[in-house]
Amino acid sequence: MRELLKHGASMESANNNGWTPLNIAGNKGHVDVVQEFLKHGANVDSENYEVSTPLYSAASEGHVDVIRGLLKHGASVESASYEGSTPLYSAASEGHVDDVRELLKHGANMESVSKNGFTPLKTAASEGHVEVVRELLKHGASMESANNKDWTPLNSSALESHVEVVRDLLKHSASMESANNNGWTPLNLAADKGHLDVVQELLKHGASVESANNNGWTAFN
């Protein structure tokens, strides 16, 4: 690689998917290669055809050392993909808690919203990534941010039976009566799917057994 660079190889040449050498090295977690490219002036925010930067790719794959190197060289922490998701969103979605910590340390916006209305907390809660959820809550992420269909983090974690996430959200006083666009509360959703441990947790915290969805169904219908 050094020989190629010494003989004038372009660091900005891209493959058919728009990936430059730096994009690829970041995605694969090759820290030394990333550092070498940056030292020779590679564009730290080069985008592939999905508008993903090297930082976004590294966050998706959990390469925290690459993330540190890119941020040190001025990578944009808020660069978003064509879906509107940021590096923090990507790291949260995949459960990479070390990446999440590093990005938060550099001021990543916890309330950034993807095109489908998901925040980093919402996607982490949906996937059951409890350590990421805790990290975001520790930094003050909004528990009531809802996606385009009014699903909050608690709605999603209740539906998917992520009971540890449910406990953490309730510990931070998440609303148990938040309803999605069909009128389903976390208790309605958990009961409908037969998630007994989630139902018990919600009832223990005082969830209303009388709340009904848009069709008039309660948790016990």
Encode the chain in three state secondary structure. Answer: CHHHHHCCCCCCCCCCCCCCHHHHHHHHCCHHHHHHHHHCCCCCCCCCCCCCCHHHHHHHHCCHHHHHHHHHCCCCCCCCCCCCCCHHHHHHHHCCHHHHHHHHHCCCCCCCCCCCCCCHHHHHHHHCCHHHHHHHHHCCCCCCCCCCCCCCHHHHHHHCCCHHHHHHHHHCCCCCCCCCCCCCCHHHHHHHHCCHHHHHHHHHCCCCCCCCCCCCCCCCC
Q: How far apart are CA 160 and CA 164, in angstroms?
A: 11
pTM of the model: 0.88
Q: What is the mean pLDDT of residues 172-180?
A: 93
Q: Residue 16: what pLDDT?
A: 60
Q: What is the mean pLDDT of residues 9-26?
A: 68
Q: Residue 24: what pLDDT?
A: 86
Q: Which is higher by pLDDT, 146 or 156?
A: 156
The amino acid that residue 174 corresponds to is: A
Q: Residue 18: what pLDDT?
A: 64
pLDDT reading at 196 higher than 60: yes
Q: Residue 51: what pLDDT?
A: 62
pLDDT reading at 14 higher than 60: no
Q: Residue 13: what pLDDT?
A: 59
Average pLDDT over the chain reads 88
Q: Residue 9: what pLDDT?
A: 43
Q: Residue 137: what pLDDT?
A: 97
Q: Which is higher by pLDDT, 160 or 16?
A: 160
Q: In CATH terms, is domain 1-83 a member of 3.40.50.300?
A: no
pLDDT reading at 133 higher than 80: yes
Q: Residue 11: what pLDDT?
A: 53
Q: Residue 92: what pLDDT?
A: 98
pLDDT reading at 212 higher than 80: no
How does residue 8 score in pLDDT terms, banded at 50, 70 and 90?
Answer: very low
Provide the percentage of residues in the chain whose pLDDT is more than 70: 90
Q: Which is higher by pLDDT, 52 or 85?
A: 85
